[in-house]
Every structure is written in C-alpha cells, then in structure tokens.
Structure 1
Amino acid sequence: MKKYPMSKYAMPIEEPISNVHPSRWPGCAVAVCGVAMFAAIVLAGVVRAAEPLVEPALPRWDVSAPTFGDERNVTLLARLLHEADWRVRQRAAVGLGQTNNPAALEHLEEAQRDTNPAVRIAVIRAVASYPGRAVAERIVINALGEKNPAVVQAVLESVVRLDLSIAASRVAELLLSPNPQIRQLAGASLRNLGLPVDEDVLVKLLADDSAPVVIQALDIAANQPSSAAIIAAVKSQASRAVSPAVRALAIETLARLNFAQARALLARAATSPSPLIRRSAVRAYGRAGQAQAVEAALSDRSAMVRLAASRAIIGPGENPVELIRKLFSLMLASPSDQASQAARDALVRIGTDQVATEAAATMRREMTKYRRH
C-alpha cells in the first residue's frame, strides 16, 4: 500500500480505499469485516460485563433427616434383641437407635424389660434419638421407676434430652430416693430442665449427708427464688460444712442470695487456710463489686486464688497504679498461661492511660534484662 511521507515524527497516512486497485478489494473487505466483528465482540463483552451477575435459583431440596434403616434392617436388629449374649442385645439396641426409623420403637419398648441393666441403658439412650415421639416419651417416663442407679442416670439424661417437662413430678419424687446418687441426678435433671424444686424438699437437700447432693442443692438454690428457710439452710452449710468444697460453694451462694448476711462469713473466709474457701470469698467480693478485697487477693499464696482475683477485677479501683503493677507482675511471672491471660484480660478491662504507661515501662525493664543476659 502506498504511503505518503510526512514529518518524521508523524504517523504515515495510508492510501484511501478509492485509490486501491480493484483486484485488492476482496482482501480489504475481509479485513474490514474482521475489524468490525472484533469491535462487536469487544463491545458485547463490555456490555455483558457491565450487567450484574444473577445467581441461578437452587432447587428446593428436602433436607430433613432421612430414615437410615429400612424395615429389613429394623427386623434384623430386632431379632438380635433375643440373643443369649447380652452384649449382642446391647449392640442391637444401639443399632436400632441409629436407624432413625420409628418402627424400631416398638422393639425398643419390648427390650426395656431386659434383665441386663446394660441393655436397658442402651435402650433408653436409643429411645432418646426419637424426640417428639409419644412412644419414646412413654418408654422414658415408665423407666423412671428403675432401681439401678446407672439405669436411672441414663433415664434422667434422656428426660433432659427429650425435654420432658411433663415428667417433672416423677423426677421430683426421685429427690427423696434413699440412694444419694439418684437424689443428686434428679436435682441435676430438674436444674437442666429449668424447673424449680419445692422449697421444703430443697431445704432437706441442703441438709443432706451427701456432699454431692448438697452441692447440687446449692446450685439449685442459687438459680431459683429463695425464701428465709432456704437462706438459713445455705448459711448453715456456709458456717459448718465439713467439706471445703461444700462450704466454699455455700459461701458464694449465700453472698449471691443475701450479701448482708454473708459479710461476716466472707471476712473469715478471706483468711481461711483452705484456698477453695478463700477463692469463694474472692468470687463473692468480685460479684458484689468489693474491689479492695479483690485486689488484696492478687498477692495470695495460692495460684487459684490469684487467678480468681484477676478474673474479678473490673476497674482501676482506689489505687490504680499499684493494681496495674501487680497485674503486670502476675502476667509476666505466672507460669500458667491461664493466669497470665487472666491478668492480661484484667488490664484490658481497666483500659486507662496508666496501663499504657506501665506497659511501656515494663517493656523497657524487660529489654534491659534481656540485654544484660
């Protein structure tokens, strides 16, 4: 193609198409069409890119729990419930619970009369896999008459798992069982169901000879409306309980129910030789906002008490500089990651400029020690 010279800095001007020889027109036409098609593709791409992408709608699938065991599987497992070996019967009961097939419930109800307690436990736990089924609820409620503590434990766990508030009266009867383990488990079940315990029964449980029963009763008392009789029973345990664990929890519970009545006991508890009791005092003081008593516990000889004090710190207190220094010391000196983290969290909760100042000073001291070594 002929080019016309221009300035050396200018682009050459191509010869007009009218001056092109006719023999070269087809090639020019193809070139022009190609350029036009390329431009069209680019423009289409730009327009398409500018359009928002619309995600296609997904089909609505049924995601409800399927039935994993068909009738044949249920029949085979039910047949194994009559085997002589109790271990086979136990595994069959577990398998029926895993089938998620309501047809298994009638076989499990029959197996609940098995002579082996391990099989009955497996049956009760399998039945708990069928919430909302009247048959399952009936099996569990009927099993509340069990005498074996291990089976009763499984029954009470299933009561909670199936949320059987309708069984509250039957569970409450177990609070007076001669077996302390059953009394404790019944109290825990009612607590987990969020159901209150009768005042007279709770007072009896608070005076129980079994430490686990009393601990469970204290937990119930701390989480339901209290009366003068309940507070008196809690105070009695806080004053005279032989077990440090029981006394410590009783002190915390009394402070939560009536802090005024707990003041004298807390003062003695803060200097008790038992770290469990001293820790209970720190927790009670922290819950009541008694910052000075909590700060004093940061220097306690017991790590668990210092940890409780760090967790109870919520503000700078009356002497923020001294408090912040103690917390930094605990954070750096504590061999336990848990204690160090608690001190760090307390410093974050204080969150004043003094914390930043002490942090800088502490960093300088630590860097100086590092350089010396």
Structure 2
Amino acid sequence: MVTLTQIAQHCKLSVAAVSKALSDQPDISVRTRQRVKRVASRLGYVPNLAARTLATRRTMVVGVLMAFPQIPTVIERIRGIQDAASQAGYATAVAFHDGKPEHENEQLQLFVGRVDGLVLTSPRPSSALLDNLRRLRLPVVLLSEPWPQIEADYVGMDDREGGRVAMRHLVDRCHRQVAYLGQAADTPSDRALLDGMRCALREVRLPARALRVLWGNTEQAATAANVERLLAATPRPTGIIACSDMAAIWVMHRLRARGVVVPKDIAVVGFDNTELADLAAVPLTSVGQPSFDIGRQAGALLIERLRTAGTPLPWRRVVFPPQLVIRESSGRPA
C-alpha cells in the first residue's frame, strides 16, 4: 500500500504538505496540489477515508436532500452537485422526500454525523426541520426554494421572470383566460411565478381575474382533477401554464382523453424544458432553466464554505435567467 511518506519522498515535500495538498488545503499552491495528485495517482495511492475522518473530523461527504425525485430537473441538479463535489474530492450522499415535512425531517436525521454540509430543496420547511438544521450547525445551500428563516446561500432560477415570460407568451397570442396549475400556495417559487404572471397581465392591461390558479399538481391524479375543474368552468381557459413539464404532460394527457385539441382548443406551457417537452405527443412549449449548472453552482458554493470554514463570508444568492423554448403546444385560441 502506497503511503503519504512515499509520495512525500517522490515530491521532495514534507508529509504534512502532501496531506494538505491531497486535501486541497488553500495554504498549498494550486500548482503543488496538482503535482502531488499526479504523483499519488501514478503510484496508485488510495486514501484511508476512515483515518482521514478521524484526523480531520471531516467525512468528505456532501449531503443532498431533494423533494419530488420523479421530476427530471431534480436528477440534473444532483448531477451538477456531484460534479462540483467530486472535483473537490467529496463524495455525494443523496436522499429524497415526498414533500411532506415529517418525511423530510426523517431523511435529514439520517445525515447526522455522516456529511460535512447540505444542499437542500425544501418546498415547505417545518419548524422541526428548521430547529434540526440550526442544531446540526452545518453549512447549507438552498436550491430552488429560498427561505428567509434559514441563513444560507441560495441558487435557483429567476422564478418571477419565468412566470412573466410564460404568461406574456400566451397573452401575446391573444389568450385572455389563462390557468396556472401550481405546486402549493405557500412555496416561495410558486409565489414568485404568480407575481411574474400578474405582472405580465398588468403590462397588457388585463384584469387579475384573467388568471385562475389551482394547486396540488405534483401527482397525476390531482392534476387530472384540476383539468376537469377547468373544463367545467365558465369561462373556460384557453391557455394553461403548468408548474413543470411533467405536470404539463399530465394536463395534455387529460385534455386528449376529453377530446380537447392542443393547441387548437387550449394552449399548454410547461416549466423546466426537459426531454419530456420534445418527446410529448404535441411538443411542449416550456420555460427552461439550466438545471445542471444550477446544481453545479450550488455544489461549488457549498465546497467553498467547507474549505473556508471559520472565515466569515457573506450569504450569496445566484439566480439564473429563464429561457422560453417555443414548440407546438402553444398557439392562438380557436
């Protein structure tokens, strides 16, 4: 087994310097770190993670706690986090929850003592979750949902602009009754999306009643029930904005089952611009976000916090602009 002493002899450095270089300590120059890592790789060095954890009190693991794993953007964001973490020598441990506070808190408890920091997506954090996060005293980066109760860096999409762009796209195509099928009224992202949609209505002097909102669209059955409510409404909307591409696919599936033609009878717009948008029976217009880059930025911010532990840094907010990708599902009403 190759040891730190052997690497130090090859590099003509002290064992302490080699250890710091392999751990990416900032007091070792980037050039020296790269040289030490090349030598270690050539010699076939395998770090003793258990010993490193005892010596440094670090697990070298980043925790990721995410809601709604069925949404494709979640996986892309995890890939981005993992990319940033692995480049810094950290492993990634991932746990999912169903959006319910008690399940989210259960998963958080499993990370205790096993990770050095967390990337967290919490649609509605409970008081118990907030208390546990404060007790853990771990660096946290919030993803997608900014919460003022948690002091943490934040990375996400400009949701307000995303909502504005989606609504403006439909009203510019003469839609005057639009429905938004959202996740939940008490999530920051949904509130920001709605704020943007209402801004777009004001821009073209349409009344607030031109927008109808229905919640709970994280499961197909609930989304189908909401579509039925819209079809029975008077006036019936000629455009529907869904909170995700997945929800938009569920909308179009239900509309097709009821003989409603997209976009001739009702136009549909989704969010996230995933592969689902291209593969839909009617290609889906969607507001895209760079999910991999968002995840990678979140991972990079967390790694920076871990490397500069003890050094005060301002809380950072990184927001990516949305991009509307127009396909066949949006059009003028009949």
Q: Same fold (TM over 0.5)?
A: no
Higher relative contact order (CA 8 A, sep 6+): 2
TM-score when normalising by structure 2: 0.31
TM-score when normalising by structure 1: 0.28
